[in-house]
Structure 1
Amino acid sequence: MKLSGKTILITGGASGIGLEAARQFLGLGAKAIVTGRDQQKLNAAKKMYPQLIAIKSDVANANDATLLYNQIKDLGGIDILYNNAAVLVPPSNLGIENDKHAEGAAYEMEVNYLGVIRLNNLFMGMLQSRKEAAIINTTSILSQAPSLIEATYSSSKTALAFYTISLREHLKIIGSNVKIFELIPPLVATEMTEDRNDKKISPEEMVKGLIEGLRHENQIIRVGDAKLFNLVNRFFPKIAFGLLNPKKTHQLLKV
C-alpha cells in the first residue's frame, strides 16, 4: 500500500506509539492528523511537529466522535484510519471482589472496542469514496491468550480481534476497496507499560514494523516477539499461556 500522499487519522496520537507513527508517516510524505484527550500533550506534539494537525477528542465519547468526523470532513477527509487509542485499567483496580471491577472493565471496553466500532462506522463512507483506503485496528497478543492480571483488557482486545476479522470479510463480500489491517504488537515501551519489567520494544521499532506490513499489505501485521508468540500459541498453547502468566504474577492475584 502506498503511504505517500495519504491523509492518516491516528487516535491516541498525542504521545507514545501514536505520536511516533505520526512522525514516521510524515517522513514518508503523508499528512497526519492526531487526536487525544489531553490538550497539553496535543499542544506539545504540535510544537514538536508543526506539520501535524492535532484535534482534542475522546474516542469513548459519542459526541466527540461525531464532532471529530465533521472536522475531518471539513479538512478534506482521510485515506487511513489508525485506531491506536487504548486504555488499561491498573490490575489493582480489577480484583474480582473489587467493586471497581465492572466499572474498569466497562471503560476498557468502551475505549478499546466500542470506540473503534464507532469511528469505523462514522468514517466508512468517507473511506469507501477514496481510491485506496484502509483501517488499522490495534489488537494485542493478549487477544490470543489472556493475561490473568489484565483479564478485562485482554477481553476487550479479543473482541476487537474477532470484530476485525468479521469487518474485513464483510467488506470483501460487498466489494469494498477499504483494506482492513490488524496490528498485533508485543509489549511496547510506553506510559501504559512503564511499570512493567518485561522485555519491550521501542515505539520506533513498532511503527517500522507496522509500515513494513502496510507496504506489503499483510492483513495481520505482527511485530517483534508477536510473531514468535503466535507460533508458540498455535502449537504449544499451555506454554504460551505460561509466558504471559509467570508464577510471579500469581502473587498479585492474592493481594
Structure 2
Amino acid sequence: MQLKGKTVLITGGASGIGLEAAKQFLDNGSSVIITGRNRGKLDEARKLYPAIVTIKSDVSDASDAQKLFNQVQHLGGIDILYNNAGVLTDPINLGTANDQHFEDAAYEINVNYLGVIRLNNLFIDMLKSRKESAIINTTSLLSYVPSLLEATYSASKVALQFYTKALRKHLQILNSSVKVFELLPPLVATDMTSGMNGKKITTANMVKAFIAGLKKDQLTIRTGDTKVVYILNRLFPKITFNLANPKKSYNVIAS
C-alpha cells in the first residue's frame, strides 16, 4: 500500500502506539488526523508534531463519532482509518461474584469492539470512494491465547478479530478497493501496560514493523512475539496457555 499522499485517521492517537504511528505516518508522507478523549494530551501531541490535526472524540460515544465524521468530511476525508483506541480494565477474578465484572466487560466491549464497528460504518462509503484505501483494526496477541488477568479484554479482541476477518471477506466479495488489515501487537511498552511484567517491545519498533507490513499489503500483521505465539499456539496450545499465564497469575486470582 502506498502511504505517501494518503490521509490517515488514528483513534487514540495522543499517546503510546497511536502517537508513534502518527509520527511514522508523517515520516512516510501521509497527512495525519488523531483523536482522543483528553484535550491536554492532544495539545501536547500537536506541540510535538505541528502537522497533525487533532480532534477530541470518544469512539464509544455515538454522538462524538458522528461529529468526528462530519469534521473529517469537512477536512476533505480520509484514505485510511486506523482503529487504534483501546482500553484495559484492572485484573478481575471471574470466579468471584462481583458486579464490576459486567461493568468492566461492557466498557471494554464498547471501546475495543463496538467503537470500531461504529466508526467503520460511518466511514465505509467515504473509504469506498477512494482509489486505494484501508481500515486497520488493532487486535492483540491475546486474541490467540487468553490472559487470566485480562479475560474480558482478551474476549473483546477475539470478537474484533472475527469481525475483521468477516469484514475483509465481505469487501472482497463486493470487489471493493478497501483493504482490511489486522494488526496484532504483543506486549508494548506504553502507559497502559506500565504495571505489567514481561518482555515488552518499544512503540517505535512495533510501529516500524506495522508500517512495513502495510507497505507490503500484508493483511494480517503480527509484530514481535505475536509471530512466535501464533505458531506455538497452533502446535502446542496447552504450553502456550501456560506461558501466557504463569503461576503468579494464579496467585493474584487466589489472593
TM-score normalised by the chain length of structure 2:
0.98
Residue 254 of structure 2 aligns with which residue?
A: 254
Equivalent residue runs for 1:41-52 within 5 Å:
41-52=41-52
Deviation at 1:92, TM superposition (A): 4.6
Does the CA-based 8 Å contact 1:15-1:41 persist in structure 2? yes
Identity of aligned residues (%): 62
Gaps of at least 5 residues in structure 1 are none
- Quote the Cα distance in structure 1 between the aligned partners of 2:175 and 2:8: 23
Does the CA-based 8 Å contact 1:148-1:245 persist in structure 2? yes
Residue-pair matches, total: 255
Residue 131 of structure 1 aligns with which residue?
A: 131
Deviation at 1:40, TM superposition (A): 0.2
DSSP 3-state at the match of 2:180 = strand
- Quote the Cα distance in structure 2 between the aligned partners of 1:97 and 1:193: 26
- Quote the Cα distance in structure 2 between the aligned partners of 1:201 and 1:166: 29
Deviation at 1:196, TM superposition (A): 1.1
Deviation at 1:123, TM superposition (A): 0.2
Gaps of at least 5 residues in structure 2 are none
Residue 186 of structure 2 aligns with which residue?
A: 186
- Quote the Cα distance in structure 2 between the aligned partners of 1:201 and 1:94: 29
Residue 11 of structure 1 aligns with which residue?
A: 11
DSSP 3-state at the match of 1:4 = coil
- Quote the Cα distance in structure 1 between the aligned partners of 2:93 and 2:38: 23
- CA gap 1:179/1:2 in 2 versus in 1, 3 angstroms: same
Does the CA-based 8 Å contact 1:95-1:101 persist in structure 2? no
Residue 75 of structure 1 aligns with which residue?
A: 75
Deviation at 1:23, TM superposition (A): 0.4
Name the Cα RMSD after superposition: 1.0
- Quote the Cα distance in structure 1 between the aligned partners of 2:38 and 2:246: 35
Residue 100 of structure 1 aligns with which residue?
A: 100
Deviation at 1:18, TM superposition (A): 0.1
Deviation at 1:93, TM superposition (A): 7.9
Q: Which runs of 4+ in 1 moved over 2 A?
A: 92-96
Pair 1:175-2:206 in alignment = no
TM-score normalised by the chain length of structure 1:
0.98
DSSP 3-state at the match of 2:135 = strand
Deviation at 1:94, TM superposition (A): 6.4
Equivalent residue runs for 1:1-255 within 5 Å:
1-92=1-92, 96-255=96-255
